[in-house]
C-alpha cells in the first residue's frame, strides 16, 4: 500500500507532501455550484473587488478538502478505515485563483484503538501554504488506521 500503517505514524513525524495543486477559477466556481454556496466572495468578481481582498477568494471548505486530498497518496491510501473528526480548522490567509497549495503534516498523537485491536487512532495536523509560503489553512484531523498485517 502507498499509505502508511499505524506503526509508521509515530508522534513527531513530519511529512512534506510532494504534490502541490494550483487552484483555478473553474475549480472554485464548480465547487460552489456543486455545494449550492452562493457566497458572492466566491462567485461575484464585482462584489469581491470592493472587499478587503480586492478579488474573489477560494471557498474555505474546498481548500480544506484539497488539503486532505493532497495527503492521501503519502499517508492514507489503502491504510485508513475512517476519518473520525476534524478540529481547529483555521484559515489565516485566503487562497486566490492561480495560487498553488502545498501541504505539510505533523503527527501529533497516536494510540491503540480500544474497540479494534487491528487498528490505531492517529491525530494529524495538516498545514496548507500558498506558493509564497503563507499559511492558508490549518486543521487537526483524527483518523482510524490499519495496523500492519502480521507477516507469514
Task: Give a yes or no: residue 40 inside a domain.
Answer: yes
In this model, does residue 1 exceed pLDDT 70? no
Q: Answer yes or no: are the C-beta atoms of 29 and 38 closer than 8 Å.
A: no
- pLDDT tier, 152 (very low <50, low <70, confident <90, very high otherwise): low
For residues 16 and 128, give the distance between their C-alpha atoms in angstroms, rounded to a whole number.
Answer: 10
Quick: pLDDT tens for 98-141. Answer: 999 999 999 999 999 999 999 999 999 999 999 999 999 999 99
pLDDT one-digit tens code per residue, 38-89: 999 999 999 999 999 999 999 999 999 999 999 999 999 999 999 999 999 9
Q: What is the CATH number of the domain that holds 90?
A: 3.10.129.10
pTM as predicted: 0.94
Does residue 152 sit within a domain? no
Nearest alpha-carbon partner for 145 in 90, 89, 92, 81: 81
CA dist 19 and 103 (Å) reads 8
Answer yes or no: is 82 within a domain.
yes
Domain count, the chain: 1
In a domain, 151, yes or no: no
Which residues partner with 103 through β-bridges? 128
Range of the domain at 49: 6-146
Contact call for residues 76 and 92 (beta carbons, < 8 A): no
Amino acid at each position: 500500500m502507498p499509505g502508511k500503517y499505524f506503526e509508521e505514524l509515530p508522534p513527531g513525524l513530519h511529512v512534506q507532501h510532494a504534490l502541490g495543486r494550483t487552484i483555478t477559477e473553474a475549480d472554485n466556481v464548480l465547487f460552489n455550484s456543486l455545494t449550492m454556496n452562493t457566497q458572492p466572495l466566491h462567485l461575484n468578481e464585482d462584489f469581491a473587488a470592493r472587499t478587503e481582498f480586492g478579488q474573489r477568494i477560494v471557498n474555505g471548505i474546498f481548500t480544506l478538502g484539497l488539503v486532505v486530498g493532497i495527503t492521501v497518496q503519502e499517508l492514507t491510501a489503502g491504510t485508513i478505515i475512517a476519518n473520525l473528526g476534524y478540529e481547529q480548522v483555521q484559515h489565516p490567509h485566503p487562497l486566490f485563483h492561480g495560487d498553488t497549495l502545498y501541504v505539510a503534516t505533523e503527527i501529533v498523537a497516536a494510540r491503540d484503538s480500544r474497540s479494534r485491536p487491528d487498528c490505531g487512532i492517529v491525530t494529524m495536523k495538516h498545514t496548507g501554504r500558498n506558493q509564497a509560503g503563507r499559511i492558508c489553512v490549518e486543521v487537526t484531523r483524527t483518523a482510524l488506521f490499519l495496523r500492519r498485517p502480521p507477516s507469514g
